[in-house]
Amino acid sequence: MPRPPRASPVVLCFLFRETGQGGPEVLLGLKKTGFGIGRIVTLGGHVEPGESPEQAAVREVFEESGVTVAEGDLEPAGSIEFMFPSRPEWDMSTVVYRSWTWSGAPAPSAEIEPAWYPVDAVPYAAMWEDSAYWMPKVLSGEYFAAAVTLAEDNECVGSVVFSSP
């Protein structure tokens, strides 16, 4: 999907671990500041000028959780075009990654309170509504491309369209 010219480049990065008891877990976090405050979110954020999406994912994961992931350990998981019709300046063109290889112990940052969640018990009700549409694809290992249009309130989902990646 072509990125709208005004969309901000963003990355999301899902870190996984095997617990040996009850299945894999995914690292998410409670957003303490900024966009999405009070919600459970995925680690990630804006791609800075001159940065590749992979470099941004590595930086954001470290800044938000203290965990180190190498660019070579990022597996492309898909892309999402987020469109906010009533706030087009919020539009985002998002690259999604997953990784099973990383080092360090997640620690709180000024922005995120990280926590592990069982892959089969993700707290969708505490997340952005759109997460329940596309996140199961990330968690199941699928590669996907999606366009998410938010409703007039900029929170509820207007539509989600999946296309061939």
Structure tokens at 83: 């469109």
Helix (H, G, I), strand (E, B) or coil at 14: strand
User: Residue 92's pLDDT is what?
Assistant: 95
pLDDT at 4 over 80: no
Domain residue ranges in the chain: 8-163
Give mean pLDDT, residues 118-140.
96
User: 5 pLDDT band (50/70/90 cuts)?
Assistant: low
User: 1 pLDDT band (50/70/90 cuts)?
Assistant: very low
Can you tell me the distance from the alpha carbon of 127 to that of 42, in angstroms, rounded to the nearest whole number? 9
* Per-residue pLDDT tens digits for 136-152: 999 999 999 999 999 99
Strand 157-163 relative to strand 75-83: parallel, antiparallel, unpaired? unpaired
pLDDT at 58 over 50: yes
CATH 3.90.79.10 fits 8-163, yes or no: yes
pLDDT at 67 over 90: yes
Query: Which residues lie below 8 Å from residue 71, measured CB to CB, with a gap of 6+?
Result: 54, 55, 57, 58
pLDDT at 6 over 80: no
User: Residue 106's pLDDT is what?
Assistant: 98
* Per-residue pLDDT tens digits for 9-51: 999 999 999 988 889 999 999 999 988 899 999 999 999 999 9
* Per-residue pLDDT tens digits for 71-112: 999 999 999 999 999 999 999 999 999 999 999 999 999 999
